[in-house]
Structure 1
């Protein structure tokens, strides 16, 4: 008989502790202390209460919990002395049926890991979908994490322990994140389409209007039809557009979606999560035979990453009338112009101006996106409400000094261009930290024709500076440029700067942001407001209509633009639930 929240909230403490037995290995105190936060409004609320207990318990208690866990495919498994929960998990991941070679490899990794960290390797082997990770992925993760910093690895072990507890809790309550699983499965299936040269290596690459890209568009459009959208089309730039009509024909539309193109050798969830979450919501409305006072328009934007052509945000830009005709003559690495690629794909170039939306017909734009950063992961919070998409500037620069002999030029006689840039890089770090949520990066740093025994006479470098408001960004830029000038003067150097890009910040619309916050609160999830350091399609739509975004936690330190990009079906379910809650709020008002 599955446990219910009503039972747990009503039970006396001793009974409640017994009901939650086995969530954390040999550590019932975690659940017991979390029960002080009753009544729980949701499973997510209970899960986070236990996260807080362990966070407050301190490092020694955390280490004791980690050490209470058995090694993967270790002595306890061989001796059959694992807890019932651990046996079930290791069995689902196939660890109880290792070949002698696999077993020897894992046991060597166990020994190396214990020698380095002093505690066993912890991995939620049932994985982000709850069905079990492949053995090879477990072994690869084991080997990769051996190289982490000990403090980071302790935190990563704790995050995996919370994921193990989450799955065990789901089992106790008979809870299945059904819609989250569907969203997960759509993304896995879509990731089967990848470009030659990458597909053979198991890597995901989908750039604008390649065969893989067009296959993705077809598949998304077919799924939209299955979900019950009324109108589905692939438009003149390759966007996949699905419309679910309002209850009355004069109703406005809520615009939502994200991009389905990827960077080269990228992740499965960047962009695509924001297409499939609203699709799942529309499918549920269709199944219930329900119409809202407004329609829902979901767009799978064809291009956001600027990989094949230098035309970033082409898909969302076309919807606001910002498609630049000169883009059509750009050539890709094979010499194919965008015009030729569009013609080959059967797109009607003459219809591109017709894609511009009348903002008066829309309530606004909302977007769900994987965070692409470590913040939610480190806080162990599943959802984040975006306050603003950072405004940014990029500069391409050069510092110019005098190349001279490294052995004969005294340190106080040098005009070292590279040292000037190094000093600037340290200042940029310090300056960005003053704001707390600004970021500054020198991503490219090169001494052209440098030699090991020559003081650098030239240093080419880039600067990328971002902040949640334009005023904050501009103040930081002014300080950095002033510092660059001061360093050059003091060191006897010259410099050149060229502004390569300037994008305005996109603050979230207060009303739409409040809808996301209400939804997060209703789910019993802690509210974390945060800026977005990355650019999104919402930035383009912001130019013509109100917008607000919701972030979903990423695994593996929130890494993105990388094959290790991941999130769980439980967190995807929460994103679907939050989106549905926003729809309900809009319908009520």
Structure 2
């Protein structure tokens, strides 16, 4: 019989510890310490209480906990001395049925890992959906994590232990993150569409108006209809738009959504999570036969990444009237213009100006997005409330010196273009750190026609600088460009810079940020506020209406724009619950 929070909250300490037995391998003290925070109002609150206990315990108790776990497919499994929970998990992952080759490979990985770190490899083998990772995924993850630094790997082991405990706790309470599972499944199914050259390698690439992109649009539109949206269309730039009507015709709309295009060889959740979370909420309203005082408009934006053409934020830009006719003449790598691609897709170019939204018809814009960074993952916090989307500026630059013989030119007579840029890069690192939440990057750096025995006479490089406010960004950019001037003068170099992009910061509207904060607090998880270093469609809508975003934690160090991008269905469920809570707040207002 499933455990309930009421049972747990009213039991004696000894009884409650017994009820939570087996969550953390041979370590009942974690649950016992967490019980001091009773009463719990949600499973999420209980889970985080245990996370806090272990975080505050220090390094040695953490190492003791890691070492209490068995090796994967190790001696304990062979001897059948695993705990019932570990047996179930390793069995679900197929580790009890390894081929001789797989078993030998895992044994070698176990030996190498233990020699490097002094503790066993820990992986939540039931995975982000709870169904079990494949043996290939387990072995690949094992090999990759064996290369981590010891402190990072200890923390990663602890994160996986918390995920194991989360799944075990769900089992005890008979809890299933139903909507989170559906959101996860939608993203997996949508990821089946990928472009030639990538699909054959199992890689995900969906760029603007390719066959894979159009297939995604069709699939999203069909799912929207299945969810009960009253109107579904693919608009003149390829956005998929679903509208769930308000209780009365004069009601305004809440605008929400995110993008469904991807970078090349990207992840499954970037953007798409923000389409499917509100879809799940609309489906729940439809199934309950419920209308709100306002309507809900969910947009799957056709283009945000700028991969096929240079017109980044094309999908959301069209909604604010920011579609430049000159973009239509841009050509992709195959020489196909945007106009030709749109005509081939059956889009009506003449209707693009009609897509502009009247802000008076909307309450505001909210967006759910995977964090795309390590912060929430490292803190073991499932959700983050975004305070501002960083403003950014980018430059395409060149440094010019004198190419000369690497063996015969004394060090004090050189005009090395690459060293000038290297010095600038080190300064940028120091300057961004002064602000705490600014970031600065030289992402592209090359010596054209460079040779191993020639001092670089020319260096091409990029500058990317971002900060939560425009004045902070501008002050950093001013300092970096001044440093570039000073370095060039001192080293006898010349340079040129070209402004490639400038985007204003988009601070969250205070009242909308507060709604997200209330929703997160109601779930029993910490309210963690953070800026967004990446750009989002919310930046464009910010120009005409109030906006605010919610982040979900990413796995694998929070990596994004990468096939390892991932999050759990439990965290997706929390995002659905938080979104639903915001809808309730708006309805009551």
Instruction: Give the TM bin, normalised by the shorter chain.
Output: over 0.9
CA distance in 2, matches of 1:198, 1:447: 29
Cα distance in 1 for partners of 2:198, 2:100 equals 32
Q: For the residues of structure 2 that align with 1:468 and 1:181, how far apart are their CA atoms?
A: 33
State the match for 2:89 in structure 1. Answer: 89
1:469-480 matched pairs, under 5 angstroms? 469-480=469-480
Partner of 2:429: 429
Distance apart, 1:143 and its partner CA: 1.1
Listed as ranges, the matches of 1:414-453 within 5 Å are 414-453=414-453
Q: What does the per-residue CA deviation read over 1:64-86, in whole Å, with 9 as the maximum and x for residues that have no partner? A: 11111000011100110000000
User: In structure 1, how many angstroms separate the alpha carbons of the residues matched to 2:458 and 2:268?
Assistant: 40
Partner of 2:30: 30
Q: Distance in 1 between matches of 2:544 and 2:185?
A: 34
**Could you list the runs of 4 or more consecutive aligned residues of structure 1 that deviate by over 4 angstroms after TM superposition?**
none
| Cα distance in 2, alignment partners of residues 65 and 95 from structure 1 | 22
Q: 2:239 aligns to what?
A: 239
What's the TM-score once normalised by structure 1's chain length?
Answer: 0.99
- 1:127-526 → structure 2 map (5 Å cutoff): 127-526=127-526
Partner Cα separation in structure 1 for residue 521 and residue 269 of structure 2: 24
Query: Aligned residue for 2:76?
Result: 76
Q: Within 2, Cα distance between the matches of 1:401 and 1:234?
A: 52
- For 2:351, what is the secondary structure of its paired residue? helix
SS in 1 for 2:148: coil
Residues 415-468 of structure 1 deviation map (CA, whole Å, 9 limit, x = unaligned): 222111111111100110111110000111112222222222222111100000
CA distance in 1 between partners of 2:397 and 2:210 (Å): 34
CA distance in structure 1 between the aligned counterparts of 2:210 and 2:453, rounded to whole angstroms? 47
Could you say what secondary structure the match of 2:218 adopts? helix
User: Deviations along 1:182-235, whole A, 9 cap, x unmatched?
Assistant: 100111111111111111111111111111111111111111111110001011
Query: Partner residue of 1:101?
Result: 101
How far 1:319 moved relative to its partner?
Answer: 0.6
Counterparts of 1:26-65 in structure 2 under 5 Å? 26-65=26-65
Secondary structure of the residue aligned to 2:182 is helix
Give the aligned length: 589
User: Which 10-residue stretch deviates more, 194-203 or 363-372?
Assistant: 194-203
Could you tell me which runs of 5 or more consecutive residues in structure 2 were left unpaired when the two chains were aligned: none
Measure, in 2, the Cα distance between the counterparts of 1:469 and 1:406.
44
Q: Distance in 2 between matches of 1:328 and 1:406?
A: 48
Distance 1:579 1:359 in 2: 21
Q: CA deviation at 1:408?
A: 2.5
- Displacement after TM superposition at 1:409 (Å): 2.3
Q: Distance in 2 between matches of 1:343 and 1:157?
A: 51
Q: Report deviation, 1:403.
A: 2.1
Task: Point out the more displaced range, 17-26 or 444-453.
Answer: 444-453
- Taking the aligned partners of 1:410 and 1:156, their CA distance within structure 2 comes to 48
User: In 1, Cα distance between the equivalents of 2:353 and 2:459?
Assistant: 44
Deviation string 1:81-132 (CA, Å, 9 cap, x unpaired) is: 0000000000111111111111111111111111111111100000000010
Q: What secondary structure does 1:405 align onto?
A: coil
d(CA) in 2 for partners of 1:567, 1:413: 54
**Partner secondary structure for residue 108 of structure 1:** helix
| CA deviations over 1:131-177 (Å, ceiling 9, x no partner) | 10111111111111111111111111110000000000001111100
Query: What's 2:564 paired with?
Result: 564
Give the match's secondary structure for 2:489.
Answer: helix
Aligned-partner SS, 2:123:
coil
User: Separation in 2 of the partners of 1:286 and 1:63?
Assistant: 49
CA distance in 2, matches of 1:316, 1:514: 24
Provide the secondary structure at the position in 2 that maps to 1:237: coil
2:587 aligned residue: 587
TM-score by length of 2: 0.99
In 2: Cα distance, 1:397 partner to 1:206 partner: 30
Matched position secondary structure for 2:440: strand
SS in 2 for 1:454: coil
Q: In structure 1, what is the Cα distance between the partners aligned to 2:192 and 2:296? A: 28
Give the secondary-structure state (helix, strand or coil) at the position aligned to 2:3.
Answer: coil
Structure 2 distance, partners of 1:100, 1:444, is: 45
* Counterpart-to-counterpart distance in 2, 1:219 and 1:409: 63
| More off after superposition, 460-469 vs 487-496 | 487-496
**Can you list the C-alpha shifts for 1:357-377, whole angstroms capped at 9, x where unaligned?**
001100010000000000000
Per-residue displacement from partner, 1:549-574 (whole Å, max 9, x unpaired)? 00000000011111100000000000
Cα deviation digits, residues 456-504 of structure 1 (max 9, x gap)? 2222111100000000000101111111112122222222111111110
What secondary structure, in the 3-state scheme, does the structure 1 residue paired with 2:96 have? helix
Measure the CA separation in 2 of the matches of 1:451 and 1:303.
40
* Residues 234-253 of structure 1: CA deviation (Å, up to 9, x unaligned): 11111100000000100000
Paired with 1:308 and 1:420, the residues of 2 have a C-alpha distance of 33
* Structure 1 residue runs without a partner (length 5+): none
Moved more, 394-403 or 466-475: 394-403
* Bigger mean CA deviation after superposition, 445-454 or 225-234: 445-454
